[in-house]
Amino acid sequence: MTRDEIDTKLRGILTNDFRVPAVSVSTSATFRGDLKLDSLDIVDFIMLLQKDFGFKSSLESYAHIQSFGELLTFVDGVVNRKAG
Protein backbone atom coordinates (compact mmCIF):
# COMPACT_ATOMS: atom_id res chain seq x y z
CA MET A 1 0.00 0.00 0.00
CA THR A 2 1.41 3.38 -0.93
CA ARG A 3 1.78 6.27 1.50
CA ASP A 4 -0.86 8.20 -0.49
CA GLU A 5 -3.32 5.32 -0.16
CA ILE A 6 -2.69 5.18 3.60
CA ASP A 7 -3.14 8.95 3.83
CA THR A 8 -6.47 8.78 1.99
CA LYS A 9 -7.73 5.93 4.17
CA LEU A 10 -6.76 7.68 7.43
CA ARG A 11 -8.40 10.92 6.29
CA GLY A 12 -11.53 8.95 5.41
CA ILE A 13 -11.76 7.49 8.91
CA LEU A 14 -11.40 10.94 10.46
CA THR A 15 -13.91 12.64 8.20
CA ASN A 16 -16.48 9.84 7.98
CA ASP A 17 -16.37 8.32 11.46
CA PHE A 18 -15.40 11.35 13.55
CA ARG A 19 -16.87 14.13 11.40
CA VAL A 20 -13.59 16.02 11.29
CA PRO A 21 -13.76 18.61 8.49
CA ALA A 22 -11.48 17.52 5.64
CA VAL A 23 -9.86 20.97 5.53
CA SER A 24 -8.70 20.49 9.13
CA VAL A 25 -6.65 17.39 8.34
CA SER A 26 -3.06 18.27 7.48
CA THR A 27 0.24 16.61 8.31
CA SER A 28 0.83 19.09 11.12
CA ALA A 29 -2.70 18.81 12.59
CA THR A 30 -2.70 17.58 16.18
CA PHE A 31 -5.37 15.17 17.31
CA ARG A 32 -6.34 16.89 20.53
CA GLY A 33 -5.84 20.50 19.43
CA ASP A 34 -6.56 20.92 15.73
CA LEU A 35 -8.81 17.90 15.16
CA LYS A 36 -10.59 18.21 18.53
CA LEU A 37 -10.50 14.50 19.39
CA ASP A 38 -10.80 13.56 23.06
CA SER A 39 -9.16 10.53 24.68
CA LEU A 40 -12.04 8.18 23.88
CA ASP A 41 -12.15 9.37 20.27
CA ILE A 42 -8.44 8.69 19.94
CA VAL A 43 -8.79 5.14 21.28
CA ASP A 44 -11.74 4.50 18.94
CA PHE A 45 -9.74 5.94 16.03
CA ILE A 46 -6.81 3.63 16.79
CA MET A 47 -9.10 0.60 16.94
CA LEU A 48 -10.72 1.52 13.61
CA LEU A 49 -7.43 2.12 11.83
CA GLN A 50 -5.99 -1.16 13.11
CA LYS A 51 -9.09 -2.97 11.86
CA ASP A 52 -9.03 -1.23 8.48
CA PHE A 53 -5.30 -1.75 7.97
CA GLY A 54 -5.22 -5.27 9.43
CA PHE A 55 -2.63 -4.93 12.19
CA LYS A 56 -2.52 -4.77 15.98
CA SER A 57 -0.27 -2.58 18.11
CA SER A 58 -0.49 -1.76 21.78
CA LEU A 59 -1.94 1.62 22.71
CA GLU A 60 1.49 2.46 24.14
CA SER A 61 2.90 2.27 20.59
CA TYR A 62 0.93 5.42 19.82
CA ALA A 63 1.96 7.42 22.91
CA HIS A 64 4.56 9.51 21.05
CA ILE A 65 2.24 10.34 18.15
CA GLN A 66 0.77 13.83 18.36
CA SER A 67 0.03 14.80 14.75
CA PHE A 68 -1.61 13.34 11.67
CA GLY A 69 1.76 13.32 9.88
CA GLU A 70 3.38 11.32 12.69
CA LEU A 71 0.53 8.81 12.57
CA LEU A 72 0.82 8.54 8.79
CA THR A 73 4.53 7.75 9.10
CA PHE A 74 3.84 5.18 11.83
CA VAL A 75 1.08 3.38 9.91
CA ASP A 76 3.13 3.47 6.69
CA GLY A 77 6.03 1.83 8.52
CA VAL A 78 3.87 -0.86 10.09
CA VAL A 79 1.88 -1.68 6.96
CA ASN A 80 4.83 -1.73 4.58
CA ARG A 81 7.15 -3.58 6.96
CA LYS A 82 4.42 -6.20 7.34
CA ALA A 83 3.97 -6.41 3.57
CA GLY A 84 7.72 -6.48 2.90
Domains of the chain: 3-72 (1.10.1200.10)
pLDDT, tens digit, 9 for 90 and up, residues 52-79: 999 999 989 999 999 999 999 999 999 9
What is the model's pLDDT at position 80?
Answer: 93
Q: Is the pLDDT of residue 84 over 80?
A: no
Query: b/e map of 43-58 (b: 16 or more CB within 10 Å)?
Result: eebbebbeeebeeeee
**Helix H or strand E encompassing 55:** none
Quote the CA–CA distance of 19 and 16 in Å, as a whole number: 5
